[in-house]
Amino acid sequence: MKVAIYTLGCKVNQYESNVIQNEFENNGYEVVNFDEFADAYIINTCTVTAMGDKKSRQILRRAKQINPNSCVCAIGCYAQVSKEDLEKIEEIDIILGTIEKSKTFEIVDKYIKENNHNKIVMSENIMKLMPYCEYNGVAYSEHVRAEIKIQDGCDRFCSYCIIPYARGPVRSRKPEDIKNEVKLLVEKGIKEIVITGIHISSYGKDFKYNKLSDEPYDYKYGLIDLLEELNNIEGIERIRLGSLEPRIITEKFVIRLTKLNKVCNHFHLSLQSGCDETLARMNRKYSTTEFKEIVKLIRNNIKEVALTTDVIVGFPGETEEEFNKTVEFLKEIKFSKMHVFKYSKRKGTPAATMPNQVPEEIKEQRSNILLEMTAQNEKEFASQYIGHEIEVLFENDHEGHTSNYIKVILKEPNEGYINQIIKVIPQKYEEENLIV
């Protein structure tokens, strides 16, 4: 039997797809490319943007064209929040929401073997409180780097975001299960783990009696406690953090962080806007002044740190003046890289019904301004290492990344470098990479 898996969206989706793939492989299935003939096609959907929805539908329809007799299964976020839309697509045989996603192998395998061709739709109410849903098996997507999912869900309810409705409330994974997975990954030769989740800063908040104080993210056992334990696991050489809520960065957090030699000096702080008025409409919980202090705290304590971020342009009500405030703020902070998104209206979120929706052409103009800025920032940040010795973990025989996540390319491939941290001296910056 053959199965093909297509993943849209975030690293959490990628992690979950990898686990699902492992389960199919462990049960005798051959995993093939999505454009090949297969008995089952699994599409792990994304619903962050309208484009994600559209692409999910396109991929789902395409699968049946490859093999009309195949089992086509839609899983994940889009299946959770818009199952009625997917039920109308006759090419889809199985629809599984966020919780049911962990049972993908069991349900698809049974469907194929019973061959009854009755459409299956399973999507539990994600908003009710429930424990973290553990997947079977260990996932890893690359030979030297692996994502580790530590939690699911989000309770921030930013006004533009559908994810809390797709993923539900915060559910943290047990520390022992995380540590056991990391130890198994070490046995497989993994050198770097990437801590991922829907909102990793909230890790531990749902553990019983787990609040130390009224400070946000101040838990008896939270993210920093987990990092300290993971830092002690032999064999792991790098621990990279996914996107962080800025307010988790306190002086106490940073002091403890600086004692962890394996944590990479690369932090992705989700900003979204550099204008306080826009941030308030977004229902973000911090001001630009607070954010600036957080950046200062990190840069004063962590050497050669890379700070990256997300920015949304064209949020409802964003005037030219508000956008200019964002531009000036970004010039001041000077992130080493920015992911720029044009606001996408999501049905069911407060922002979708806000007045003064920004025209697409203006979103495009503003996006281009920030993309030009981030290209220059990336070049300046990386170029400071030209002629200087840096350490690179090589993913293959010709490319790898520094601890602060600069991509490095070898002009002459070297198989002996694979899965090794090697000291090199880059000679130039070219097409967003340092060249050795």
96-139: pLDDT as tens digits? 999 999 999 999 999 999 977 789 999 988 888 678 888 876 77
At which of 90, 122, 154 does a domain end? Answer: 122
When divided into structural domains, the chain yields a total of 3
* Residue 296 belongs to some domain of the structure: yes
Question: Binning pLDDT at 50, 70 and 90, where does residue 94 land?
Answer: very high
Q: Assess whether 412 and 364 both reside in one domain.
A: no
Q: Assess whether 239 and 366 both reside in one domain.
A: yes
Q: Assess whether 209 and 163 both reside in one domain.
A: yes
Q: What is the CATH number of the domain that holds 194?
A: 3.80.30.20
- Average pLDDT (79-98) is 94
Question: With b meaning 16 or more CB within 10 Å and e meaning fewer, what string describes 416-432?
Answer: ebbbebbebebeebeee
Q: What is the pLDDT of residue 115?
A: 79
Say whether pLDDT at 52 is over 90.
no
Q: Assess whether 259 and 194 both reside in one domain.
A: yes
* Residue 384 belongs to some domain of the structure: no
Question: Binning pLDDT at 50, 70 and 90, where does residue 142 land?
Answer: low
Q: Assess whether 369 and 394 both reside in one domain.
A: no
Range of the domain at 337: 145-377
At which of 56, 88, 122 does a domain end? Answer: 122
173 close to 204: Cβ distance less than 8 angstroms: no
What rounded mean pLDDT belongs to the chain? 95
* Residue 182 belongs to some domain of the structure: yes
* Residue 282 belongs to some domain of the structure: yes
* Residue 130 belongs to some domain of the structure: no
Span of 78-92, 113-127, 396-410 with lowest mean pLDDT: 113-127
- Average pLDDT (131-149) is 80
* Residue 134 belongs to some domain of the structure: no
Q: What is the pLDDT of residue 133?
A: 86
Size (the chain), residues: 436
Q: What is the pLDDT of residue 282?
A: 98
Q: What is the pLDDT of residue 141?
A: 63
Q: Assess whether 308 and 169 both reside in one domain.
A: yes
Give CA–CA dist 131/170, Å, rounded: 9
Give CA–CA dist 425/428, Å, rounded: 10
Q: Assess whether 221 and 365 both reside in one domain.
A: yes
Question: Binning pLDDT at 50, 70 and 90, where does residue 150 land?
Answer: very high
Q: What is the pLDDT of residue 127?
A: 87
pLDDT in tens, 244-291: 999 999 999 999 999 999 999 999 999 999 999 999 999 999 999 999
- Average pLDDT (72-84) is 95
Q: Assess whether 413 and 335 both reside in one domain.
A: no
